[in-house]
């Protein structure tokens, strides 16, 4: 797997909220068409890290960063780079399913495309259907596309949010604890979906669930107090971690 | 802070260590009995049956821990290794019984070749030494002791080969001698192999490295 092409990387990445440094000199390579899991205790910087990967970190007042985030070798923080374009290429799915509450299932998926004016009419229908199919939701909602996005179950709503992200044809999908609000059945469906998604996209997933990281990811990064403690292929990290800190965290002997 | 899984792991460890003691006892009785020409099959059979039951117990405890706690890293390596080690101990018991059964089946083999008999005794001592050291290595996760087991296994293999040659040379004595001696040296050689597997598991637990020591 080490021969895989690099899709993104962070180079000596530091990030702050005001005076507080939350990421410390993180360098990590994310390979194309793989799932990379980010694990670590609450407050270790996992979510901040993935938010730097699509320039969402800078939207928080007082937040700043240094270092580089490369997407296909180009620094997404370069002067010429449009952050909106970056966020289209690097989509995000959040912890809690957040479909637009006033919109139908169809409109939720179509919203981004309508905003950017890139697809209309039959083309739009096609993209909505493909996105819902890729999110493994089409069969469940195809007869209810006009119903509100919030009328379906939590698990379905999260897959709707994934379909919404897919509709913009991103290259990388970031997921911030996408299953934390879901029951085990819905979680299993999202996990299956995550594994399927890597065929077409590169996925980075933040999770508190060790077993989930083990099940879905090819690579695992363990973060602690803003530092990247260990990064490696998931089997090695979970069977024979190099760092004692990683061992303690994943076996629950922490603190 | 003790984790919920720790109690189960402690119980599993205690069962595996106990198996080691029972297996060592079975082998000591069986090998000693064979060398002295004494029928020990009843006692050894009983211990062998205990080991079979304990292997099932280790499997059940291991599966329960895996199902309940989804262990990773050193926890997973320990549980995985304990299941393998329990099998090694079960095999010790089976070979011990096989050795003791030969004594029962063929009785005293006074007319057999003295050299072979003496060297089976030497081989038996070396094998028991390997079993004892590997048990100590298991209890302490001491990878330094592994070297002694590996070195002794080489000596056992050499004795096995020498004994086989001698048995073939002296095959004319009696068929009982030939059959018994061939089987015993084979069982001893296999016990030595299992002691080596056990130390490989100790290395895996302690370092995460899958060593092949044979």
- Which candidate, B124, B121, B136, places its Cα nearest to that of B96? B124
Q: Does A45 touch chain B (CB under 8 A)?
A: no
Residue B56, pLDDT score: 97
Q: Does A217 touch chain B (CB under 8 A)?
A: no
Contact A247 B73 (CB under 8 A): yes
Q: Judge whether A6 and A71 are in contact, CB under 8 Å.
A: no
State both tokens at B115: 């050299």
Query: What are the structural domains of chain B?
Result: 4-207 (1.20.58.220)
CATH 3.40.50.300 fits A6-250, yes or no: yes
Which of A57-66, A92-101, A207-216, B164-173 is least confident?
A: B164-173
Q: Could you give the CA distance from residue A83 to residue A66 in angstroms, rounded to a whole number?
A: 16
pLDDT tens across the length of chain B (214 residues): 789 899 999 999 999 999 999 999 999 999 999 988 889 999 999 999 999 999 999 999 999 999 999 999 999 999 999 999 999 999 999 999 999 998 788 776 777 888 888 899 999 999 999 999 999 999 998 888 999 999 999 999 999 999 999 888 876 567 788 888 999 999 999 999 999 999 999 999 999 888 787 7
Contacts of A253 in chain B (CB under 8 A): 3
Contact B76 A247 (CB under 8 A): no
Q: Could you give the CA distance from residue A143 to residue A157 in angstroms, rounded to a whole number?
A: 16
Contact B1 A255 (CB under 8 A): yes
Q: Judge whether B114 and B45 are in contact, CB under 8 Å.
A: no
Instruction: Tell me phi and psi for residue A231, to 5 degrees.
Output: -140, 130
Closest CA of chain A from B81, distance in Å: 13
- Which candidate, B128, B141, B133, places its Cα nearest to that of B13? B141
The domain limits of chain A are: 6-250
Closest CA of chain A from B22, distance in Å: 31
Residue B172, pLDDT score: 58
pLDDT above 90 covers a percentage of chain A that reads: 87
Residue B167, pLDDT score: 87
Which pTM value belongs to this model? 0.84
A136: left (phi over 0), alpha (psi -120 to 50) or beta: left
State both tokens at B8: 């189960």
Q: Judge whether A161 and A99 are in contact, CB under 8 Å.
A: yes
């Amino acid at each position: 797997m080490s021969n895989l092409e690099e899709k993104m990387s962070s180079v000596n990445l530091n990030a702050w909220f005001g005076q507080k440094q939350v990421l410390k000199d993180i360098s990590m390579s994310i390979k194309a068409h793989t799932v990379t899991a980010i694990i670590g205790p609450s407050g270790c910087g996992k979510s901040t890290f993935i938010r730097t990967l699509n320039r969402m970190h800078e939207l928080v007042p007082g937040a700043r960063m240094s270092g580089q985030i490369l997407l296909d070798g180009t620094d997404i923080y370069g002067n010429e780079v449009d952050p909106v374009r970056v966020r289209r290429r690097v989509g995000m799915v959040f912890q809690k399913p957040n479909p637009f509450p006033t919109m139908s299932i169809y409109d939720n998926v179509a919203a981004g495309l309508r905003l950017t004016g890139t697809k209309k009419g039959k083309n739009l229908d096609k993209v909505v259907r493909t996105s819902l199919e890729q999110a493994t939701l089409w069969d469940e909602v195809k007869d209810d596309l006009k119903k509100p996005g919030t009328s379906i179950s939590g698990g379905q709503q999260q897959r709707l949010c994934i379909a919404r992200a897919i509709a913009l044809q991103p290259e990388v999908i970031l997921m911030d604890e996408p299953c934390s609000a879901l029951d085990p059945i819905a979680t299993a469906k999202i996990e299956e979906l995550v594994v399927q998604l890597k065929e077409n996209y590169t996925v980075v997933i933040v999770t508190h669930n060790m077993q989930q990281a083990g099940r879905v990811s090819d690579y695992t990064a363990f973060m602690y107090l803003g530092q990247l403690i260990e990064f490696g292929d998931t089997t090695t990290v979970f069977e024979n971690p190099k760092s004692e800190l990683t061992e303690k965290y994943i076996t629950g002997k922490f603190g | 802070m003790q984790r919920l899984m720790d109690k189960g792991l402690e119980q599993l460890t205690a069962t595996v260590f106990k198996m080691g003691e029972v297996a060592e006892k079975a082998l000591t009785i069986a090998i000693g009995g064979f060398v002295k020409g004494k029928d020990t099959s009843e006692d050894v059979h009983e211990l062998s049956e205990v080991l079979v039951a304990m292997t099932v117990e280790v499997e059940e405890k291991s599966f329960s821990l895996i199902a309940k706690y989804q262990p990773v890293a050193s926890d997973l390596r320990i549980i995985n290794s304990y299941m393998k080690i329990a099998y090694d101990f079960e095999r010790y018991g089976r070979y011990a019984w096989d050795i003791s059964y030969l004594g029962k089946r063929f009785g005293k083999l006074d007319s057999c070749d003295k050299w072979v008999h003496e060297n089976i005794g030497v081989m038996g001592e070396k094998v028991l030494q390997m079993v004892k050291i590997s048990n100590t290595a298991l209890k302490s996760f001491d990878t330094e002791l592994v070297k002694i087991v590996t070195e002794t296994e080489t000596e056992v293999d050499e004795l096995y080969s020498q004994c086989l040659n001698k048995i073939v040379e002296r095959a004319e004595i009696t068929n009982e001698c030939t059959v018994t001696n061939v089987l015993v040296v084979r069982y001893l050689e296999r016990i030595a192999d299992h002691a080596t597997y056990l130390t490989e598991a100790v290395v895996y637990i302690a370092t995460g490295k899958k060593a092949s020591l044979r």
